[in-house]
């Protein structure tokens, strides 16, 4: 009998924003979650209905390819690697698309390397995970400072050109070349300024970013000066996504 059927998960419905929410995922749910995150991060395919997410990839999902070669599923190996060290699955994935991954891989390979699922359960993965957590605070604070500076620059320059404040925020937040900010901070600026159009534009990626690194962001956002980073709407989207994965019919 599954936990869902006896109502165990139902009791914790309000706790999807807990840091240990992933403990309630079954093995299949966790694999599906990992697969979604990997493809979203690697191929910018954030929508679960996008072709990149929907199509079966034999070399990753398992099966027999056109040459008759049988391939095993890779996602369960990643899940095992994560569980073995009691890591946070989202953070593990984020680490492998973070500067830490390139730093470790550059040292190992003396060059840039394309990411693939097998590298998420390699023997360097734990080092990547550790470095990501170690460097997260400094990198995030630097990114926030850079984002603030570039947004302030554009605000000063454009407020005489674009008169409507809402339009101004949308224009600046979505400016890819003059504003050096990650989607998480673009969303944060938009939410802080109350520009719903800009919020809508970046909330998917920002929610994914927050979902993966929730513990790390929460620790930074506990400081008063960073409290504006995480909007209630962002939490709602994360909660909604986690509900989906917790109920995933895997």
CA–CA separation, 12 and 91 (whole Å): 22
> Residue 133, CB half-sphere, CA atoms under 13 Å: how many?
15
Residue closer to other proteins, measured from CB, 10 or 224: 10
For residue 92, give every residue at least 6 positions away whose Cβ sits within 8 Å of its Cβ, in sequence order, or none.
Answer: 78, 81, 82, 120, 125, 129
Q: Which of 26, 122, 154, 226 binds other proteins (CB under 8 A)?
A: 154
> Shortest approach of other proteins to residue 200 CB, angstroms?
7
Degrees, nearest 5: CA angle 103-46-201: 100
**Residue choice 157, 192, 194, 227 for contact with other proteins (CB under 8 A):** 157
Question: Residue 176: which residues within 8 A CB-CB, separation 6 or more?
Answer: none
Distance CA 7, CA 3 (A): 6
Q: Given the complex with other proteins, which of 43 and 86 has the nearer CB atom?
A: 43
Residues of span 6-35 touching other proteins by CB under 8 A: 28, 31-32, 35
Q: Does 200 bind other proteins (CB under 8 A)?
A: yes
- In this chain, which stretch among 77-85, 86-94, 146-154, 220-228 interacts with other proteins, using CB under 8 A? 146-154
Whichever of 17 and 174 has its CB closer to other proteins, that residue is 174
Angstrom CA distances, 189 to 83, 142, 213, 230, 231, stand at 35, 16, 19, 10, 10
Range 39-78, binding other proteins (CB under 8 A):
40, 42-57, 61
In angstroms, what CA-CA distances link 42 with 1, 36, 62, 243?
Answer: 36, 10, 19, 23
Choose which of 94, 133, 208, 216 interacts with other proteins (CB under 8 A).
208
Please choose, out of 19-27, 80-88, 202-210, 222-230, the segment that lies near other proteins by the rule CB under 8 A: 202-210
Measured from the CB of residue 223, what is the shortest distance to other proteins in angstroms? Answer: 21
Task: Name residues contacting other proteins, limited to 167-196 (CB under 8 A).
Answer: 167, 170-171, 173-180
Shortest Cβ 122–other proteins spacing (Å)? 15
Using CB under 8 A, pick the residue from 9, 76, 150, 215 that binds other proteins: 150
Q: Which of 180, 198, 98, 103 is nearest to 144 (CA)?
A: 180
DSSP H/E element including 218: helix 214-221
Q: Which is nearer to other proteins, 98 or 213 (CB)?
A: 98
Segment 106-145, which members bind other proteins (CB under 8 A)?
Answer: 106, 111-115, 135, 138-139, 142, 145
Minimum distance of other proteins from residue 159's CB (angstroms)? 10
CA distance 95 to 128: 6
């Amino acid at each position: 009998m599954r936990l869902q059927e006896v109502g165990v998960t139902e009791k914790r419905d309000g706790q999807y924003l807990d840091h240990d929410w992933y403990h309630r995922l079954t093995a299949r749910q966790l694999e599906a979650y990992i697969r979604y995150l990997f493809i979203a991060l690697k191929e910018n395919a954030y929508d679960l209905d996008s072709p990149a997410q929907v199509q079966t990839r034999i070399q990753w999902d398992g099966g027999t390819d056109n040459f008759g070669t049988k391939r095993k599923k890779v996602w369960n190996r990643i899940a095992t690697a994560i569980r073995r060290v009691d890591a946070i699955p989202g953070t593990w994935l984020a680490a492998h698309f973070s500067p830490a991954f390139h730093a470790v891989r550059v040292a190992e390979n003396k060059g840039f390397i394309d990411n693939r699922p097998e590298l998420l359960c390699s023997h360097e993965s734990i080092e990547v995970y550790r470095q990501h957590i170690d460097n997260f605070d400094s990198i995030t604070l630097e990114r926030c400072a850079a984002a603030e500076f570039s947004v302030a620059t554009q605000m000063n320059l454009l407020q005489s050109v674009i008169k409507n404040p809402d339009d101004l925020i949308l224009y600046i937040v979505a400016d890819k070349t003059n504003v050096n900010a990650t989607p998480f901070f673009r969303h944060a600026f938009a939410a802080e300024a109350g520009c719903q159009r800009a919020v809508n534009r970046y909330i998917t990626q920002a929610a994914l970013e927050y979902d993966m690194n929730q513990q790390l962001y929460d620790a930074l956002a506990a400081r008063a000066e960073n409290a504006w980073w995480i909007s209630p709407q962002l939490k709602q989207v994360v909660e909604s996504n986690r509900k989906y994965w917790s109920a995933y019919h895997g």
